[in-house]
Structure 1
Amino acid sequence: MSEIQSPAAPPPTLEDVAALAGVSTSTVSRFLSGAVPVSEPRSKRIQAAIDALQFTPNLLAQSLKKGRAMTIGVIAHNMTSQYFSTILTHIEHALGEAGYALLIVTGHWSETIEAQRIALLTARRVDGIILLEGRLPDEQILHHARKTPIVVTGRQLVGEQVYGFKLDHRAGALLAVEHLLQQGHRRIAYIDGPPGHGDATARLSGYQQALAQYGVPFDPDLVACGNFQQADGHAATTRLLSQGRAFTALFAANDESAFGARLALFEQGFRVPDDISVVGFDDIPGAAFTTPPLTTVRQPLAEIGAAAANAMLGLLSKRPIAIDIPPFGLQVRRSTKLCLAS
């Protein structure tokens, strides 16, 4: 005869947690939602009860009660990029603490695809959309935000359901090129970002401004497009070298392009920094582990991710949004040195 199986114990409920913690069910609800502060002693008792009972909140019930999906859509342009993955990690952490999950899609640096992804996320009824380095014009973002709140990085934009913020990328590039000029370099190649991209345009402006401040003529023949990607940075640097462009230093619009440039220089027999100094932009995690470690402009990626998440929470709760992000800084490592040729 087969054994008679005893029925499984019912899962613990909100009432069970409240009884064990010695508080009301409404206090437990406030603790779980995070919408209203709960005193520290009560919070500790509630968390201890949750752990002891192995209680799991009913997210579906919570979302139905709040009228929200508790999901935020995020559009990034390159899922393999350490730049985007670092920002996404901090968005997920900040929104996760507020009870939200992420639905991440890729824009592939295309306005058309970006618009399609916004429509897709809106159809999935996400509570809001975070657009990292959006390519769409302001008017279109404002139009889409009529249906779903949108936070966008890389531009200043404010509306009823829109918040955008950006950093001074011109000033960041100025730091990088000034560092090379102070080391005596005068022939400085530049690997640009995607044409028309706001950050890339600002960084090119910083590069040109630094040259002008030191009385160095701008040479367009030393500029090549790298599209913020390793392969394009490699191709752009190879193209400059094959055209016989002489330079003692190279500034790349992002670290990914600098990685590609570094490989192209190695393939052509140039040593970094003995023959050519290299500076990147972003200070992504891998920048400290190249050979040699990359000098780069540190972009506050963790703070950008947290700021995007907090701006979204502000839009959803209709509270004032205050963004405080530290400025760019130069992280000097071992890929640059004094220019002996000067």
Structure 2
Amino acid sequence: MLEPVTLAHVAQEAGVSPSTVSRILNGTANVTPEKRARVEAVIARLNFRPNPQAQALANGRSLSIGVITPSLNSTFYGEALAGVEAVLNDTPYHPLVISGQWRPEREQEALDILLLRRVDALILMGGILDDAILERVAQRVPLVAMGRDVRGLSENCIVMDNAGGMRVIVTHLLHLGHRRFAYLTGAERQQDAVERRDAFIATLEQAGVTVPDALIESGDYTEEGGRLAAERLLDSGHSFTALCCANDQMALGARLTLYRRGIRVPEDVSLTGFDDVITSSLMTPPLTTVRQAIYDMGEVAARAALNLLRGERVSMQVFTPELIVRESTHPPGGARRLTRPSEVSL
């Protein structure tokens, strides 16, 4: 196996010091044109390739951008991560991704690990760490937040108009004639979950519709959480003709519960989500939802991090939601009495 060519080999062949070769490579050498040409000729002849990591460490950089996501198996965050990766593919930087697992202590641990790894910048996707913690971190390393507005760092945030998105979903259902609603909310410490739930309640109140507390359940933004939360709604004894979910993943889990209880979508219950992840159009029936430009948001977050690394100013970017109407919503056919598991014939 051939021995790899090192900077010392180039220096010896060119008759200069290793430090001179290094300075020529990074563009800071004050040498004669003849000496520069001689070194560059040796570099070309030996096919020398500088080690980017070694160069980065010499310059105090790691060439990595840390990304903290609540979940690694989320279709939403997976699509956003793909956007981040696409932008970084054309740069010397690579993403270093860790999951906070929807828990503040794990999120803090992920943050500590990335800082110890000396990442050059951080991208936080959602998350539940306090704003004050993130403000302190931003004083040490460039930080971009996606999906939340961090107090004191608003210019570094990429957000979705969550209230606007929920308003268009609820208004769509109201126009169809629905007046009996149930709701699955996300993790209570997630800013977007709070904004969507508040908009759901406010939009219905403006229409003169009140939702009983028993018909608002938390599904923690996961498919399994949505499945279990939908079971609790059906066991509450309250009837409803429309079930709004704060994200598509919970809607997928709720759809399974409705199917197992013999409840038809949309004939008995209209079902909606939020996000328009890639699987939503493939559900049975395809899901009515609000489209977020998830991939684009990941791209914008990565570009913002790169801009901050170059010392450039960034500004908050707000993405506007788009209502996507599919076959999971329909005018109410009358409040069907919802069955309990013991009432379903096998």
Amino acid across the alignment from 1:225? S
- C-alpha distance in 2, partners of 1:190/1:268? 18
Secondary structure of the corresponding residue to residue 171 of structure 1: helix
CA deviations 1:220-243 (Å, max 9, x no partner) are 221111110111111111111122
For the Cα contact (< 8 Å) 2:158–2:300, is it kept in 1?
no
Please report how far the alpha carbon of residue 160 of structure 1 lies from its aligned counterpart in structure 2 after TM superposition.
8.3
Say if 1:336 and 1:54 are closer, same or farther in 2 by CA, change over 3 A.
farther
For the Cα contact (< 8 Å) 1:157–1:165, is it kept in 2?
no
- C-alpha distance in 2, partners of 1:280/1:110? 23
1:155 has 2:148 as partner: yes
- C-alpha distance in 1, partners of 2:173/2:153? 44
Please report how far the alpha carbon of residue 62 of structure 1 lies from its aligned counterpart in structure 2 after TM superposition.
3.7
1:305 has 2:304 as partner: no
Say if 1:160 and 1:246 are closer, same or farther in 2 by CA, change over 3 A.
closer
TM-score normalised per structure 2? 0.80
Q: Structure 1 stretches (4+) deviating beyond 4 angstroms?
A: 7-13, 53-57, 158-162
Match of 1:258 in 2: 251
- C-alpha distance in 2, partners of 1:139/1:245? 41
For the Cα contact (< 8 Å) 2:180–2:211, is it kept in 1?
no
1:214 has 2:210 as partner: no
Match of 2:74 in 1: 81
Question: Which of the numbers 259, 267, 275 marks the counterpart of 2:260?
Answer: 267
RMSD: 2.9
CA deviations 1:167-188 (Å, max 9, x no partner) are 2211111111111111011111
Question: Which of the numbers 311, 325, 330 marks the counterpart of 1:318?
Answer: 311
- C-alpha distance in 2, partners of 1:98/1:156? 27
1:91 has 2:77 as partner: no
- C-alpha distance in 1, partners of 2:323/2:47? 47
Secondary structure of the corresponding residue to residue 148 of structure 2: coil
Say if 1:293 and 1:55 are closer, same or farther in 2 by CA, change over 3 A.
farther
- C-alpha distance in 1, partners of 2:246/2:323? 14
1:92-107 → structure 2 map (5 Å cutoff): 92-107=85-100
Identity of aligned residues (%): 37
For the Cα contact (< 8 Å) 2:131–2:151, is it kept in 1?
no
Instruction: Point out where structure 1 has 5 or more consecutive residues left out of the alignment.
Output: 1-6, 16-25, 31-49
Please report how far the alpha carbon of residue 11 of structure 1 lies from its aligned counterpart in structure 2 after TM superposition.
7.1
Say if 1:267 and 1:55 are closer, same or farther in 2 by CA, change over 3 A.
farther
Which moved further from structure 2: 154-163 or 245-254? 154-163
Amino acid across the alignment from 1:184? G
TM-score normalised per structure 1? 0.81
Question: Which of the numbers 234, 237, 248 marks the counterpart of 1:241?
Answer: 234
Secondary structure of the corresponding residue to residue 282 of structure 1: coil
Please report how far the alpha carbon of residue 12 of structure 1 lies from its aligned counterpart in structure 2 after TM superposition.
12
Please report how far the alpha carbon of residue 335 of structure 1 lies from its aligned counterpart in structure 2 after TM superposition.
0.6
For the Cα contact (< 8 Å) 2:157–2:316, is it kept in 1?
no
Match of 1:178 in 2: 171
Greater relative contact order: 1 or 2 (C-alpha under 8 angstroms, separation 6 or more)?
Answer: 2
Please report how far the alpha carbon of residue 143 of structure 1 lies from its aligned counterpart in structure 2 after TM superposition.
1.7
Amino acid across the alignment from 1:241? L
Say if 1:224 and 1:314 are closer, same or farther in 2 by CA, change over 3 A.
same
Secondary structure of the corresponding residue to residue 199 of structure 1: helix
1:198 has 2:191 as partner: yes
Aligned residues: 305
Please report how far the alpha carbon of residue 158 of structure 1 lies from its aligned counterpart in structure 2 after TM superposition.
6.9
Match of 2:323 in 1: 330
- C-alpha distance in 1, partners of 2:326/2:230? 21
Amino acid across the alignment from 1:265? L
